[in-house]
Amino acid sequence: MESEPEPAAPSPLDKTYWKLVTVNGASAPPGSGRHEPHIQFDPEKKRVTGYSGVNIFSGAYDVTGSRLRMSRMASTRRAGSAELMKLETAYLKALSATRSYRVDGDVLELLDVHGQVVARFEAREKQ
């Protein structure tokens, strides 16, 4: 009798390079290296940083259990194509709306106050 393979251990929220896959159900455009939408959490500094498609962002975060809040967000102010600016606006709004998260294997989901997924990421090797 063969046993079922064990599920992959979840990637930790902190110190993982999370590549954006979807925001509000829409697919994120592919990017490469530092120019792909992503997010990272630094537990020592309690700082969240990332790239939103056009601009670099950073802010503070607080995590308690599965609750997650990001605050004092700031970003550079570069302009980009209409498509990328639309993605960036949706992505930054999703971060502001985040109230909790869940990790399943190498997938991170950010959830709003109603438990709806506002952004989905996949763990990648640090770029």
Reported as a single tens digit per residue, the pLDDT across 85-116 is 999 999 999 999 999 999 998 999 999 999 99
Helix (H, G, I), strand (E, B) or coil at 101: strand
Question: Is 49 in contact with 43 (CB distance < 8 Å)?
Answer: no
Using a pLDDT cut of 90, give the percent of the chain over it. Answer: 69
| CB neighbour list of residue 14: distance below 8 Å, 6 or more residues apart | 41, 42, 43
Backbone angles phi, psi at 71, to 5 degrees: -145, 170
Question: Is 109 in contact with 13 (CB distance < 8 Å)?
Answer: no
The predicted model scores a pTM of 0.86
Distance CA 24, CA 47 (A): 23
Q: Is the pLDDT of residue 9 over 90?
A: no
Radius of gyration of the CA atoms of the chain, in A: 15
Strand runs labelled E in the chain: 17-23, 26-27, 38-42, 47-51, 56-64, 67-75, 100-104, 107-111, 117-124
